[in-house]
Amino acid sequence: MTLQRIALVVEFDGRAFHGWQRQKNAISVQEVLEHVLEKIEGRPVPLVAAGRTDAGVHAEALLVHADVDKKRWQRSARAYTQGVNQLLDGSVCVVGVRAVKDDFHARFNCMERRYRYQIWNRSTPSAIHQWRHWWMPKKLNLDMIKEASRCLLGLQDFSSFRASGCQAASAVRNIKHIEITSQGWEVFMDIHADAFLYHMVRNITGSLVRVGTGAWHPEMLAEVLHARDRTRAAATAPAHGLYFVDAIYQGFSAKQLIGKESSMS
């Protein structure tokens, strides 16, 4: 059988899964999607993702790659995508797909990962958005959060925002962009970096919220960062407010593939 490597853009509701990566005693996005591809291909189809997500974290555009039957794929990329989605239960969906070169790698070729954290900043919770945002009843000072966040930009050691279970060899990461915006009751924290440490975005968010509530002065975040000590940072923000929103590659991004099916690499 001749194989074709394809890139799939995956969207999922994190509530239903124990993260992206396969687990021995819990359901994962990877396990569910690999099971569906095995049904279609008639053989195991390993998946490689741009990054891992924790239990409860959502994704709008997580890019993964797989090697599939080239003849089946070339008959119709659209039909292949529809076939995959028909076997999924709706909590996970393939929202874009394209052929890529044989040496393409979803993880190693990824130049930038983008996450967004969502906060519901109102004195009363939301019945509709309770699993889509972190409810923060105390009014946040966004100007203070923006001021504090500037110290996080650039290539730095983020040990203070690294969870104890992190297996990365180095805590040095390059945060390229941080943006704090709001719309109505919603507060959005967008963070882009070359890569992230385990719980890094959620730990940063917890500390930025500490600044926003007035519990910390903005300068304290820089002190926490430079201490390289996880015990100095705030508690980890809940998983259900976090979204993997894009993966950037040479010439394209995961989000740019949404709504597209292409059999050409």
90-124 pLDDT, tens digit per residue, is: 899 999 999 999 999 999 999 999 999 999 999 99
Read off the pLDDT band of 265 (50, 70, 90): low
Summary mean pLDDT of the chain: 95
* One domain for residues 241 and 254: no
Q: Are 53 and 24 in contact (CB under 8 A)?
A: no
Q: What is the pLDDT of residues 18-28, one digit of tens each?
A: 999 988 889 99
**Are both 157 and 221 inside the same structural domain?**
yes
Taking the C-alpha atoms of residue 200 and residue 115, their distance in angstroms, rounded to an integer, is 11
Residues 95, 61: contact at Cβ < 8 Å?
A: yes
Q: List the CATH number of the domain containing 76.
A: 3.30.70.580
CATH number of the domain where residue 123 is located: 3.30.70.660
Q: Which two tokens stand for residue 209?
A: 């919220």
Same domain as 212, residue 116: yes
> Which residues touch 217 (CB under 8 Å, ≥6 apart)?
211
Residues 30 and 89 in one domain: yes
Give percent above pLDDT 70 in the chain: 99
- pLDDT value of position 164: 83
Structural domain tally of the chain?
Answer: 2
Active site (catalytic) residues: 54
Question: Where would I find the beta strands (DSSP E) of 158-262?
Answer: 172-183, 186-193, 242-249, 252-253, 261-262
Residues 6+ positions from 248 with CB-CB distance below 8 Å: 110, 111, 112, 113, 114, 254
| Containing structural domain, residue 71 | 3-109+250-262
Q: What's the pTM value of the predicted model, to 2 decimals?
A: 0.95
